[in-house]
Structure 1
């Protein structure tokens, strides 16, 4: 019987196994059209293939360029479309194709596809009617090339400078799923608070954003409040609070102030709020304050102070808010999964140019998002909290499926 031949280039049939459903071909085509990266002539490695390839780099961050491509070419032998003269493109050809693709389509795909995945019944996803979200940042080592140093910089200076340049990533995650749904990349000299200002568009009414004290500023707090989402942010001892009145659950209403106000001005504003008067929004804001300690985790009895836009204690009692705040640690767990489990502990993003570093970073985020979405779906079906499902096991499952589909050698 003659061998059936699949139409089109072999690489047109590249797939990512269970990940292909999350980033389907129609979505890739929309992204390609929107970013204008469609190739002018027929190429062996067209844009839609390279987008999938960049995501696969996130799954196989420690593999060579050719090996990642080899693992992608799936099911050709069983489909009767094997061609003996097809060979895996060289590392140079793959690098050139990545350069043609650029950063924009991979970033656009993340922004289009990375949305909260927890459903109404997902365990641990909600505080009452509010979806729990968190924000945090970290940095990734990148290849030590002059171009990467110029764009991203090193931590420290002189003999204390970091061995590698670092790209700074600040991200918003959905706490229950640990799915990253918004991110900003930049030089390591750019602080988390500065990058966070570009993430307000991720937040929507019905969300509760948790943040550590490093993110607090009067201006940034107001910017996130303007999104309609609620906030629960820890603040440091240096932040001035003006007591307005105590509440029934042990929390209290207070004012936070624009920097630079004199002590007398702050006192008068607090008195105005206590008397039921209005205070200028650009000068002070009324918040609810929850103070608590966690003795079994902090033997020194350090006081944790969280301010929130949820001012009604009957809506969310202080104890519930304090408990929910510690879901912020899910952000650190998510970032650690990307750094240690996907990229590999202590590994360096090997892309040699800044644009390819950013492209690879978006691919890592997309790979992590797809696995996390898969785990949430599985947890919901089983009635589990997603925390009970191991990310590493999910990653191995995805890698195994891709490998099973792509056990092909040129």
Structure 2
């Protein structure tokens, strides 16, 4: 009856001993023998994130489908709900704290001139519309009275290249991204380079982020008035924000396709003050990696959740579900990095998240790879499938940022919109300030 507690091949990354230790530390180990012990419930929550379209009874069927011949129980939906409530969110949060952090890799893409590339940004997640959730999470105001579901704000600190989660916080939407960024400062360290968009360019926040010892590369408004203290040969100039010395890089970036050329201005501020050690042209090109966090949120919200609402109907259940979701995402990312690291020189960016996700689901259904063989295979079936279906080298392409399908038939009317992608070339022109 204890056999269903597994996560397929991903169990090797979150083994029984790790789960038991988390339960012991958080004092959630069951006090008496149960048909649904705490360890099994932990794995059920993780498996539920891999099958977001299914109810927990159906997830249980997935966990047990490969365990024929064993004396298994068939718990009711009520029993599964009570088991999740007994467990609470603390063990899942403690598990995420063990799993989070930059993935250990030899790939050169995660570092630039010795600095670990990181990125911070926020997104919104939709939760179930229940009375308990509405008491904690509010609905966004819209033109027609409000959104259909309550929402929460999630902010994450990610490692570029591997897109592994270093830290994450979530709150009601009344808490802004800047406040969440201050909480994420606990995970910033010297030796990191943090990329962020214009929302994080406030003087107070910049000083707070820089106090961690991490270096910053943040975009700000091109019209922002910053004093020119010294001009450098690479086109950048020294300035100051709130008493903090910074370097400013102004550039015109032109993207040329068969449809024409589009040019826009960029202004970056950085705490990397030496233009010889950190040239401005390289920093401009490096800043493009900030978009990796958008891809990570796409993988969370679209690939894993399939655009669905979080299923929990209480705030504690939401907390439990999000930490399980972040843990599963981190496990998949770890398996992908282990695979690409087995082939030196392979860019982690070429690993397909969808391939890893679907293979992990299959391994759960077959209850395969739960216990490692005597000969340890770090790649495993998930890694082998990832390596067999590597994405091509990324080419520079551009596309207007828009949805492919209109949310309303009335919005779909009007002039024809060009939705094609174009191969592109980019030209960067550093603009020096006037003497």
* Correspondent of 1:232 among 214, 217, 222: 217
State the secondary structure of the residue aligned to 2:109.
coil
How many pairs were matched up?
364
- Residues in 1 aligned to 2:144 and 2:31: alpha-carbon distance in whole angstroms: 48
Residue 355 of structure 1: aligned partner: 316
* Correspondent of 1:115 among 101, 120, 123: 101
- TM-score normalised over the length of structure 1: 0.84
Residue 305 of structure 1: aligned partner: 267
* Alpha-carbon distance, 1:325 to partner: 0.9
Question: 1:344/1:229 Cα in 2 relative to 1: closer, same or farther (>3 Å)?
Answer: same
- Residues in 1 aligned to 2:362 and 2:86: alpha-carbon distance in whole angstroms: 30
The correspondence of residues 5-404 of structure 1 with structure 2, limited to 5 A, is 10-12=1-3, 14-73=5-64, 76-77=67-68, 82-83=70-71, 86-119=72-105, 121-156=106-141, 159-237=144-222, 239-257=224-242, 284-296=243-255, 301-345=263-307, 347-382=308-343, 383-404=345-366
Say if 1:137 and 1:168, in contact at 8 Å, map to a contact too: yes
* Alpha-carbon distance, 1:43 to partner: 1.9
- The structure in which a higher percent of residues are helix is 1
State the secondary structure of the residue aligned to 2:263.
coil
- Residues in 2 aligned to 1:163 and 1:13: alpha-carbon distance in whole angstroms: 36
Give deviations 1:242-284, integer Å, cap 9, x for gaps. Answer: 2111112111111113xxxxxxxxxxxxxxxxxxxxxxxxxx2
- Residues in 1 aligned to 2:349 and 2:252: alpha-carbon distance in whole angstroms: 25
Give deviations 1:300-351, integer Å, cap 9, x for gaps. Answer: 5321111111111122111111111110100000011000000003x11111
* Alpha-carbon distance, 1:353 to partner: 0.7
- Residues in 2 aligned to 1:165 and 1:349: alpha-carbon distance in whole angstroms: 10
Unaligned runs of 5+ in 1: 1-9, 258-283
Unaligned runs of 5+ in 2: 369-435
- Residues in 1 aligned to 2:104 and 2:236: alpha-carbon distance in whole angstroms: 30
* Alpha-carbon distance, 1:367 to partner: 0.9
Question: 1:23/1:240 Cα in 2 relative to 1: closer, same or farther (>3 Å)?
Answer: farther
State the secondary structure of the residue aligned to 2:102.
coil
Say if 1:240 and 1:256, in contact at 8 Å, map to a contact too: no
- Residues in 1 aligned to 2:161 and 2:360: alpha-carbon distance in whole angstroms: 21
Residue 262 of structure 1: aligned partner: none
Say if 1:167 and 1:186, in contact at 8 Å, map to a contact too: yes
Say if 1:14 and 1:73, in contact at 8 Å, map to a contact too: no
State the secondary structure of the residue aligned to 1:124.
helix
State the secondary structure of the residue aligned to 2:235.
coil
- TM-score normalised over the length of structure 2: 0.80
* Alpha-carbon distance, 1:150 to partner: 1.6
